[in-house]
Amino acid sequence: MLNEKEILEGYLNEMQAVHSELVSTKNSLYDMALSPFESTFEMDISGSILIDHMKKEQLLELKSSLEDDLLPMFKEGKYKKGIQKVNKWKKLVDKNLEKQK
């Protein structure tokens, strides 16, 4: 017969497994939110990135999406990988905006 400690340990192990699956799913969803932006910041064979060819209005719209949509979501979910990536991208956008002044 199982004692209470064994029952609780079994329950705890099950909950830890479920938690791990949920975290994995959450991270996958966050990665999906990043994916539409990835190609905008990837270097092509000539060594340039798409934002190097964007107009000021497009860069401002992109920056707004990063700051107003992605970053708050990642901060709320404490998704460090996404926060770091968005901050890196924002710097690139700001750099390109500076070039257009």
Chain segment 47-70, per-residue pLDDT in tens? 889 999 999 999 999 999 999 999
- Cβ–Cβ under 8 Å, residues 37 and 89: yes
Residue 32, classified by CB atoms within 10 Å of its CB into exposed (0-12), middle (13-18) or buried (19+), is exposed
Q: Residue 27 to residues 37, 38, 44, 79, 92: CA-CA distances in angstroms?
A: 16, 16, 27, 8, 24
- pLDDT band with cut points at 50, 70 and 90 for residue 2: low
Domain residues of the chain, as ranges?
4-99
- Among positive and negative, which fits the CA dihedral 76, 81, 32, 36? positive
Average of pLDDT values for 71-87?
96
Give the tokens for residue 75.
């901060």
Task: Kindly tell me if the per-residue pLDDT of 1 is higher than 60.
Answer: no
What's this model's pTM, rounded to 2 decimal places? 0.80
Give the pLDDT of residue 19. Answer: 86
